[in-house]
């Protein structure tokens, strides 16, 4: 029960103090579940974000459901999901009665503008942290630059490209590179190593024979 309550209050705090939706929550989810509590690794969070973005539902809820299940099974998923959902539900339910009146107050309206700017920084911060966890090689850099180029190009012409297509493209390229190209090179590598080992063993055998003949002559 202690583990379930820990999951609930952790994600309740994430849902309570994070503004800006799922992407803004990623930074706090990473801080709480990866850095402080070590519930998952940075690589796992990257995979969770990729899956959560390409499946139905808000990204934060999907992350909470996965992490809760990993920690405590089905009940863990339930407690973590309730924890991350309840703060938003309670706050929005309360604000809905007088939201229009609140936005007419200049102080509150200006505060929301400042919150929006802070949210953008949180999203950038989460992206930079996840970028550090990506395996740095030529393939990952090419995929990163390709996705960035496509996104910028579509935004420049006044259109949008769905993140689902970018994720699916990355998945296909990853399968081709790691599942086919790298796998084939890995399979061939032991054969090359075996040939080199056989050559070394043959050279050693020749040297031993030569040494034995010299000893016999002596």
Could you tell me which residues come within 8 angstroms of residue 95 by beta carbon, excluding any fewer than 6 positions away?
Answer: 102
Cα 177 from chain centre: 19
Question: Taking a C-beta distance cutoff of 8 angstroms, is the pair 65, 82 a contact?
Answer: no
pTM greater than 0.75: no
Number of folded domains that form the chain: 1
Handedness of CA 34, 132, 27, 58 (dihedral sign): negative
Q: Name the DSSP letter for residue 96.
A: T
Angle between helices 22-29 and 42-53 (to 10 degrees): 160
Is residue 180 in some structural domain?
no
Confidence (pLDDT) at 205: 54
Could you tell me which residues come within 8 angstroms of residue 5 by beta carbon, excluding any fewer than 6 positions away?
Answer: 79
Tell me how far apart the alpha carbons of residues 194 and 191 are, in angstroms, rounded to a whole number. 5
- Domain span holding position 84: 2-134
Is residue 189 in some structural domain?
no
Is residue 18 in some structural domain?
yes
Is residue 149 in some structural domain?
no
Average pLDDT, integer, range 12-24: 74
Is residue 198 in some structural domain?
no
Residue 40: phi and psi, rounded to 5, are -140, 165
Residue 58 has pLDDT above 80, yes or no: no
* Mean pLDDT (the chain, rounded): 77
pLDDT tens per residue, range 141-183: 888 888 888 888 888 887 777 777 888 888 888 888 877 777 6
What number of residues does the chain have?
Answer: 218
**pLDDT band of 188, cuts 50, 70, 90:** low
Is residue 56 in some structural domain?
yes
Question: Taking a C-beta distance cutoff of 8 angstroms, is the pair 140, 134 a contact?
Answer: yes
Tell me how far apart the alpha carbons of residues 104 and 28 are, in angstroms, rounded to a whole number. 31
Question: Which among 91, 88, 109 is positioned nearest to 25, based on CA atoms?
Answer: 88
Question: Taking a C-beta distance cutoff of 8 angstroms, is the pair 130, 49 a contact?
Answer: yes
Is residue 21 in some structural domain?
yes
Residue 100 vs residue 147, higher pLDDT: 147
Question: Taking a C-beta distance cutoff of 8 angstroms, is the pair 3, 71 a contact?
Answer: yes
Average pLDDT, integer, range 206-210: 52
Is residue 30 in some structural domain?
yes
Tell me how far apart the alpha carbons of residues 52 and 22 are, in angstroms, rounded to a whole number. 10
From start to end of 2-129, where are the E strands? Answer: none
Could you tell me which residues come within 8 angstroms of residue 9 by beta carbon, excluding any fewer than 6 positions away?
Answer: 83
């Amino acid at each position: 029960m202690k583990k379930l309550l820990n999951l609930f209050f952790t994600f309740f705090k994430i849902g309570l103090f994070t503004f800006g939706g799922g992407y803004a929550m990623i930074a706090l989810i990473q801080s709480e579940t990866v850095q402080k509590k070590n519930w998952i690794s940075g690589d796992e969070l990257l995979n969770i974000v990729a899956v959560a973005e390409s499946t139905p539902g808000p990204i934060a809820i999907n992350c909470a459901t996965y992490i809760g299940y990993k920690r405590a099974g089905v009940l863990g998923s339930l407690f973590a999901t309730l924890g991350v959902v309840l703060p938003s539900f309670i706050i929005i339910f309360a604000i809905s009665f007088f939201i229009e009146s609140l936005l007419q107050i200049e102080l509150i309206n200006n505060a929301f503008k400042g919150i929006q700017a802070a949210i953008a920084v949180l999203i950038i911060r989460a992206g930079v942290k996840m970028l550090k966890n990506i395996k740095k090689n030529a393939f990952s850099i090419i995929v990163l630059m390709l996705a960035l180029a496509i996104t910028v190009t579509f935004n420049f012409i006044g259109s949008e490209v769905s993140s689902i297509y970018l994720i699916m493209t990355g998945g296909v390229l990853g399968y081709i590179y790691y599942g086919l190209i790298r796998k084939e090179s890995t399979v061939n590598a032991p054969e090359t190593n075996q040939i080199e080992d056989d050559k070394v063993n043959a050279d050693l055998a020749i040297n031993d024979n030569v040494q034995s003949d010299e000893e016999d002559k002596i």
